[in-house]
Structure 1
Amino acid sequence: MSTPNIKSVVENMLQPYLDEHQFELVDIEYVKEGSSWFLRVFVDKDGGIDIEDCGRVSEYLSLQLDENDPITDAYFLEVSSPGAERPLKKPKDYEKSIGKYVFVTTYEPIQGLKEFEGTLVSYDGETVVVRIGKKEYELPTSKVANARLAIMF
């Protein structure tokens, strides 16, 4: 099974549990590091997620994966919080982050830059606007490689 399919299958297995417990699915990664595969699930909730929450999600998902066995490779399951530098993947992630400090990379240079660290000014589904100092950069979402919250120093 391909990585996108694994992510979709895992999301479908997990979403009813997350909905029931008011958790939010932030991201799913299925990656090979060295000789090992890792299935990483990042969840959150209002007020933040703690280790007990992650443990309950992990137990539920582990049982579902054992029952349905959608992944043929041996892998390690990790369930955690997205952390302070939470990725921005979905439209609602961008919308909730307006006014916050972000780090965005693009696939190709825009106005000579591929990295933008500043305040997320707006998001309309087509364009992400980041203010760096007094200058605003309009980044087409189709050119955004990665975006995440950033810690300001």
Structure 2
Amino acid sequence: MNVEQRVTELVEEKIADKPDLFLVSVKYNPGGKLVVLVDGDNGIGIDNVVAISRHVGFHLEEENVIETAYNLEVSSPGIDTPLSLPRQYTKNVGRTLSIKTGEGNKREGKLLAVGNDAITIEETIREKGKKAQVVESVIPLNQITETKVVISFK
């Protein structure tokens, strides 16, 4: 079993009794940096981050999963981290998203709804010589290459 698989199991084990928390990703980078991103439907408190970090760290040491020096970093995804799970989209309904699609198009709009395989956004379409129109667009998740929440300081 590789490091990422074992860490995934350990995190899932630790958050099993907290249905509002979910694992976003586990990455073990060359050079020994182990990054675990965990989120919650209503955010994740520092106490949960600390508990997960201690649980994972203890078991990795106990089981000698990583034989070289490593750095364990457990956190919630930063605001600039792209969304990767449908559950993260649900958490951001009502916010403005910047979306890149497979064709290289970039779209921006307010997230209205999240389905099993698509999202619905409200975007403003501007065509030359015409008045801007606000339309609802459905974008299949499998066509999205990157989605980030747009931060507004207005």
TM-score scaled to structure 1, two decimals?
A: 0.72
Which residue of the partner structure matches residue 142 of structure 1?
142
Q: Give me the whole-angstrom Cα distance separating, in 2, the residues matched to 1:61 and 1:137.
A: 41
The alpha-carbon deviation at position 118 of structure 1 amounts to 1.9
> Is 2:36–2:73's contact at 8 Å kept on the other side of the alignment?
yes
The alpha-carbon deviation at position 71 of structure 1 amounts to 4.2
| Misfit runs of 4+, over 4 Å | 71-74
Structure 2 unaligned residues grouped into runs of 5+ = 125-133
Alignment of 1:28-43 (within 5 A): 28-32=25-29, 36-43=31-38
Structure 1 unaligned residues grouped into runs of 5+ = none
Q: Which has the larger radius of gyration?
A: 2
Q: Give me the whole-angstrom Cα distance separating, in 1, the residues matched to 2:37 and 2:73.
A: 8
Residues 1:10 and 2:10 aligned together: no
Which residue of the partner structure matches residue 131 of structure 1?
122
Q: Secondary structure at the match of 1:108?
A: coil
The alpha-carbon deviation at position 124 of structure 1 amounts to 1.9
How many percent identity over aligned positions? 27
The alpha-carbon deviation at position 11 of structure 1 amounts to 1.6
Moved more, 85-94 or 120-129: 85-94
Please tell me the root mean square deviation across aligned C-alpha atoms, in Å: 2.8
The alpha-carbon deviation at position 74 of structure 1 amounts to 4.3
Alignment of 1:84-103 (within 5 A): 84-85=79-80, 87-103=82-98
Residues 1:61 and 2:56 aligned together: yes
Which residue of the partner structure matches residue 77 of structure 2?
82
**How has the CA–CA distance of structure 1 residues 139 and 22 changed in structure 2, closer, same or farther, with 3 Å as cutoff?**
closer
Instruction: For 2:83, give the aligned amino acid.
Output: L
Q: Secondary structure at the match of 1:77?
A: strand
